[in-house]
Amino acid sequence: MSYLIRFHSDWFRVKEFFKDFWLYWRRPHFAKEHIKFLLAYLGQNPFRISRTFLEKRGEEDLYAYGETPLTVLEEICDAFDVKAKERVFEIGCGRGLTCLWLRHVRGCKVTGVDFVPAFIAKAKSFEDADLKYVLEDYTRLSYENADVVYLYSYSDTEPLAETLLTLRKGAKVITVSFPISDLDPKNFDLVSHIPVLMPWGEASVYLSLKKTASSKESALPQQP
């Protein structure tokens, strides 16, 4: 059974590669950056890189790594109205390919966050004025400037809701497999969800909105 699952996953990725080529390589700048990206990881398995790092950290879940297929990311952005020029933070960005797509295809201003040094070291070479990568535990950052936060997978989501209290009112939180509103219904409203097909099977993607002011906004003096 495990061989069948792996075959399905590998075949899914092969199909996605050709879809990416057909759909997105018509954009010369993304095509150029994507080729550089593929060459940077030639012969290197990102799942193995992640697993090795997590083993050294003593983590229990060694298989938390995953990547959103670009065609699925487009479905998500269309369904949840992620617009050009919006400031998008991706928590657990991994290699940063989805950030690259959000920047050069969607036209967003993107910050990718991950704690695996090998991923961020390579990703730094793709930075520009509207694309930044940060090597950090996501709980140590402020998200007050974010319009959208996207989270595909992370080994520790328990502090997620508390960390994102710095979001402004109305900011979007997009999560795979669980809505952040389940963690904190007081501060986040679930407004929509869609089914998508990931390499490992069907999943639900959830859109929640921050319904309260950020801690910084709440501290501002009230107008008389």
Select from 46, 148, 161 the least CA-distant residue to 90: 148
How far apart CA 70 and CA 65 sit, in angstroms, is 16
The per-residue pLDDT of the chain, averaged, comes to 87
pTM: 0.87
Select from 94, 97, 112, 114 the least CA-distant residue to 47: 94
pLDDT of residue 25: 83
Examine residue 220 and state whether it is found in any structural domain, yes or no. no
Query: What's the burial of 2, exposed, middle or buried (CB within 10 Å: 0-12/13-18/19+)?
Result: exposed
Strand order in the sheet with 131-135: 131-135, 109-114, 87-91, 148-151, 172-176, 201-210, 188-198
Domain tally, the chain: 1
The β-bridge relationship of strands 172-176 and 201-210 is: antiparallel
Residue 8 confidence (pLDDT) above 70: no
Examine residue 218 and state whether it is found in any structural domain, yes or no. no
Examine residue 224 and state whether it is found in any structural domain, yes or no. no
Q: In CATH, what number is assigned to the domain containing residue 170?
A: 3.40.50.150
pLDDT of residue 13: 67
pLDDT of residue 1: 43
Examine residue 221 and state whether it is found in any structural domain, yes or no. no
Residue-range definition of the domain harbouring residue 79? 2-213
CA 199 from centroid of its chain's CA atoms: 16
Examine residue 134 and state whether it is found in any structural domain, yes or no. yes
Give the pLDDT confidence of 53-96 residue by residue, as tens digits.
Answer: 888 877 766 667 788 999 999 999 999 999 999 999 999 999 99
How far apart CA 210 and CA 105 sit, in angstroms, is 26
Examine residue 222 and state whether it is found in any structural domain, yes or no. no
Examine residue 83 and state whether it is found in any structural domain, yes or no. yes
Examine residue 175 and state whether it is found in any structural domain, yes or no. yes
Give the pLDDT confidence of 160-208 residue by residue, as tens digits.
Answer: 889 999 999 999 999 998 899 999 999 999 999 999 988 878 999 999 9
